[in-house]
Structure 1
Amino acid sequence: MNKKIINKPGHPEKIISKSYTELIEAFKKDGCPICSLNRLNVDSYFSSILYECVNDPGVRKNLRSSLGYCRSHSIQFIQFVESSYNRFGASIIIADISSEVIKELDRLSKLQLKELKKIDITNHKCPACIYMQSHEHIYYSEIISNLENDIFLSEFIKSDGLCHAHLVQLMKIIKNTHVRNKIIESQKLKLCQLIKDMDEFVKKHSQQASGKITSDEAEAFKKAIRKISGSQSEFER
Structure 2
Amino acid sequence: MFNEKVPGHFSQLKGDLAEILEQYHRRAIALVERRSVTKESKDMLDKALSICCKSMGEQLGSLEQSMISKQKEINRMFAETIRTKLMPTYEECAEQKGESLHPTMHRILSSDLIPQVLAPSPEGARNSVNMLQTSARRVTKGLTSLLESTGADIEALIDTTVDQVSRDYRIAIIDPRVRKLSQQQIELKNKITNIIQTAETEVHLDQHLGLSNHQELSAEILKHEGVANIKDENMQA
**TM-score, L = length of structure 1:** 0.21
Q: Which has the higher helix share?
A: 2
Q: Which structure has the larger Rg over C-alpha atoms?
A: 2
